[in-house]
Each structure stands twice: as structure tokens, then as C-alpha cells.
Amino acid sequence: MLNYQITPRIVFTELLLHDQPDAAAWIKGNAQNPDLSGMVKFYYTTYGGILIEAQIFGLPDEGLPGAGNFYAMHIHESGDCSDAFNHTGMHYNPKNTEHPNHAGDMPPLLSNQGYAFSVFYNKRFTIQEIIGKAVIIHEKPDDFTTQPSGNAGAKIGCGEIRWAV
């Protein structure tokens, strides 16, 4: 007989099915990647952390059959996505830790012909702490070593994190 206990996975699935995030960032591409777009959603959980869902379209490997590239995704200090994303600052890092232990360091996106979908759980920040900051997508994968930002390359996508209404 199977024991069907409520697990975090079941709770997280219910959050995603109801599609009512507490905050979100609409991602737009830079001038070299005008087709890049998507949404990163942030959900409160009963486990004291945040469930994060990212769905991104138009990543640079879009036209390459069978392509599967990684792209770094981070939360940066400022949500100012103007001027080719030059005003977003460094990774969100309130505890002044080394990379990849910044609060804003997140798992990489795995693109499949330009599309990436990711869901993960995070207890490094609260939603209140990241409102007004930016989700940044970089042109390369994060190497999880190089200081201060993982040698992830140029910022190709940006979106300000805002309360979902």
C-alpha cells in the first residue's frame, strides 16, 4: 500500500497550477537579442522559502537544431534595465559572501533551441528583499568559481522584479 503524504513537491505543484505568483519579472532581451523574452515568477511557500519558476523564450541558440546551451541567471542589485542593462549593479549579495553563495546566485537555465523552463526552491532571500531588483540572464553559463560573478559574460536579458497584482 502506498503512503500518500503531503510533500513539498505536492505543495509546489499546487502553487504552479494556480499560477498566482506573489512577484514576477518580465524579461526582455538586449539589442543583440530582441526576441529574448519571458517571465520569472516568485511564489511564497509554507516552508519559509520561495518557489521560483522561469520560462524564457528566444535565447541565442534558438535556430540551432538540437542545441542545448546553458545561460547564467542571477538577481542583480538594481531593477534599472535601461541603457543596455548597465545600471543593474552586481549580484544581489546582502551578506557579502563569495560567488556562488550570493543571495542572487541561481541555477543556470538549460536552453533547448531557445526555450528554457526551470523551477526551483530557494531560501536565500524573501520576496520583499528582491522587489525592485533585476533578474539578469547572461550570455554564458556561470562557472561557479570566478569572482565576483562567475565569468558569465554579457547581460542579454533583464527584468525588474515587481509585486504581482
- The H-assigned helical ranges of the chain are 8-18, 82-85, 127-130
- Residue corresponding to grid cell 556561470: 142
Total-model pTM = 0.93
User: What DSSP character marks residue 98?
Assistant: P
How do residues 43-82 score in pLDDT, each as one tens digit?
Answer: 999 999 999 999 999 999 877 777 789 999 999 999 999 9
The predicted-structure confidence for 101-158, as pLDDT tens digits, reads as follows 999 999 999 999 999 999 999 999 999 999 999 999 999 999 999 998 899 999 999 9
Q: Are 162 and 84 in contact (CB under 8 A)?
A: no
Domains observed in the chain: 20-163 (2.60.40.200)
